[in-house]
Structure 1
Amino acid sequence: MPKLSIFTVAAPDLTPEELCQAAADAGIAGLEWRCKDTPAELLAEQPSFWGHNRCTISPNAGEAEIGRFSRAAREHDRRTIAVTPYLSCGDVEGTEQVMRLAKRLGASMVRVGVPGYDRSTPYNELFAQATRYLQEVERLAIEYGLKALVETHHATIAPSASLAHRLVSPFHPDAVGVLYDPGNMVHEGFENYRMGMELLGPYLAHVHVKNAGWRSVSPDGTANHLEPVEWKSAWAPIANGVVPWKQVLRDLKAVGYDGWFGVEDFSGTFDTRAILRTYAEQMNRWMEEMQ
């Protein structure tokens, strides 16, 4: 059976204790804790993925907070596999802080910073900055016995498997790897899935599971075939977006991937508990169909 996990950014309405119980009920073994400070003003808002997320641990977590998250996982027999912060490229001090936290929680992976790309700074300058940062990251990952993850993510200098590989290839794959996210690659960075996996080789360290799609946008509801049409991407349920997940799973099996699959469904189609149940049922069924 697949090794299933949940990135808690997708569970904003649940407390750590509720999330661990829901994960156990769904048969999801791994936990990827969202890691970010939550400003006080957001705590009055309704739960949301990137705002008031109740399933988030602070990078500055003290003994009580660390104990709470560790206890929630332990009491529900769940395993913390990753701490997933929102680090800036070059923030070596912040990166080490999160790695210390990850060790306390028993995690083996930490997502690290990648420069954004918005046409304001040339790619080659950003790549040089990222390389200098990852030299420090590699050192820290070895020191703390963790793997640092560069995520394939739109609007960064690593939107595709090949650009992520270019970034991590100077470093040892035991210390620096790639979080492969086909859902992000719908927005930007699509490449033949298996080709990208083959290129990544030992750097293919983790996989996130979500989906998205595209639709054309016309102000008057019609298309003028002599004028450009605007297209927009949006999140979709895992089975209903552009990413053909059954094919992706076949490709992952073909290259020998045996790591975790972390869900982060942002489509809003299901409530959090239903997301976990549906995800586990889908993944287990698809894997069985591949036998």
Structure 2
Amino acid sequence: MICSVFTVATPDLSPQELLTAAKEAGISAIEWRCTRIPDSMKNDPPSFWGNNRCTLDPDASPQLLAELREATAAHGLRSLAVVPYLKCGDLEETERILSVASALGASYIRLGVPGYNGSRPYGELLQEGQAYIREAEKLTRRYGVKGLVETHHATIAPSASLALRLIEGCNPEDIGVLYDPGNLIHEGFEQYRMGLELLGPYLAHVHVKNAGWIPASDSTNPLDPASWRCAWQPVANGIVPWKRVLEDLKAVGYEGAFGIEDFSGAYNSSEMLQLFVRQMNAWWEELQ
């Protein structure tokens, strides 16, 4: 089993500290968060999506990237992915991220997907997304780095089947899907094995996290419907039945990596990495 970590989940660690913690935990590969952190945030406490200390700048120098690649290899690790927050249609930034991934020797980048909030028709967004993916595919082929569409709530690809609709017709050597069951709890749930069967050769990578629904109101009035909110949970405590998901992944022949992305805050970064590797290895061995 290949275990990786998406560094969005380790905001308190510098890249060097992350490499050390990952090696000690038994992690094999790194997925580097890649975005520009505003100067106004750089003195804030570490946080997942704010002042994340384990974030690469897309404008990092070739020398810095070469040093990071060397440091990663020196720890016996590899860079699996560069994970930005690309906007659908931004081919210039897409190529910039591909160049970063190539310099690090990474296999994947995450592509942009149109968001969905009901303000624009799905059909229009799908056409825009497909047009961008087709152009991005040309770039991924040129750089030899696969572009991934993540199953993610609040986008037009919240499920495996809708992600497939966005990329269908692309070459699975160049374009694939990052399957994230934790995101499906927020929106996009469908039977895990069915979704995985639909993806077929497009299934490229899996993120591991969990979530659950919590009552947001306590009304007993039948004319005042209850409201709920979705919140992140530790991997073993949310709605995603990870043992079952692993069984389904094994059934479809998945041989890729499992990337931890725990946002629950239940553990510090080092504890989270160590527990994740123990969980994945134990659950996978149960299936042998």
What is the TM-score normalised by the length of structure 2? Answer: 0.98
Q: Which runs of 5 or more residues in structure 2 are unaligned?
A: none
- CA-CA distance at 1:226 after TM superposition: 3.9
> Which residue type is aligned with residue 139 of structure 1?
K
Matches within 5 A, 1:5-154: 5-154=4-153
User: Aligned partners of 2:189 and 2:170: how far apart in 1?
Assistant: 24
Counterpart of 2:226 in structure 1 is 229
2:276 equivalent in structure 1: 279
Q: Give the AA of the match of 2:253.
A: G
Structure 1 unaligned blocks of 5 or more? none
What is the match of residue 259 of structure 2?
A: 262
Q: How does 1:173-212 map to 2 (within 5 A)?
A: 173-212=172-211
Q: Letter of the aligned partner of 1:280 in structure 2?
A: V
Structure 1 CA distance, aligned partners of 2:219 and 2:55?
43
**Secondary structure in structure 1 of the residue aligned to 2:173:** coil
- Equivalent pair of 2:209/2:234 in contact (CA under 8 Å): yes
**By how many angstroms is 1:146 displaced?**
1.2
Deviation of the 1:222 alpha carbon: 4.7
CA distance in 2, matches of 1:28, 1:79: 10
Measured on the aligned residues, the alpha-carbon RMSD in Å equals 0.9
Matches within 5 A, 1:156-167: 156-167=155-166
What is the total number of aligned residue pairs between the two structures?
A: 288
Contact 2:12 2:53 in 1 (8 A): yes
Cα pair 2:19 2:72 within 8 Å, conserved: yes
CA separation in 1, counterparts of 2:265 and 2:120?
A: 34
Return the alpha-carbon distance in structure 1 between the equivalents of residues 71 and 131 of structure 2.
Answer: 37
For 1:179, give the aligned amino acid.
L
Asked if structure 1 preserves the Cα contact closer than 8 Å seen for 2:18 and 2:54, the reply is yes
- Equivalent residue of 1:44, what SS? coil
Secondary structure of 1:183's counterpart equals helix
1:34 alignment partner, SS class? strand
Question: In structure 2, how many angstroms separate the alpha carbons of the residues matched to 1:61 and 1:20?
Answer: 18
TM-score by length of 1: 0.97
The 8 Å contact of residues 16 and 72 in structure 1, kept in 2 or not, is answered as no
Letter matched to residue 144 of structure 1 = Y
- Counterpart code for 2:194: M
- Kindly provide the amino acid, as one letter, of the partner of residue 176 in structure 1: I
User: Are residues 1:289 and 2:286 paired?
Assistant: yes
Contact 2:219–2:225, Cα closer than 8 Å, also in 1: no
SS of 1:199 mapped into structure 2: helix
Letter in 2 for 1:25: E
Q: Which runs of 4+ in 1 moved over 6 A?
A: none
- Residue 60 of structure 1 and its aligned partner are, at CA, apart by 0.7
Deviation at 1:74, TM superposition (A): 1.8
Structure 1 range deviating more: 60-69 or 91-100? 60-69
Q: What SS does the aligned partner of 2:165 have?
A: helix
Q: Percent of counterpart pairs with the same letter?
A: 56
1:66 Cα offset (Å): 1.1
Do 2:62 and 2:103's aligned partners in 1 also have CA atoms closer than 8 Å?
A: no
Query: Structure 1: how far apart are the matches of 2:278 and 2:134?
Result: 40
- Deviations 1:230-275 (Å, cap 9, x if unpaired)? 0100000000000000000000000000001000000000000000
Q: Which of 246, 268, 288 is the equivalent residue of 2:243?
A: 246
Q: Distance in 2 between matches of 1:19 and 1:270?
A: 15
Q: What is the CA distance between 1:40 and its match in structure 2?
A: 1.0
Deviations 1:16-67 (A, max 9, x none): 1110110000100010000001111111000000010111111111134213
State the alpha-carbon separation in 2 of the partners of residues 56 and 103 from structure 1.
17
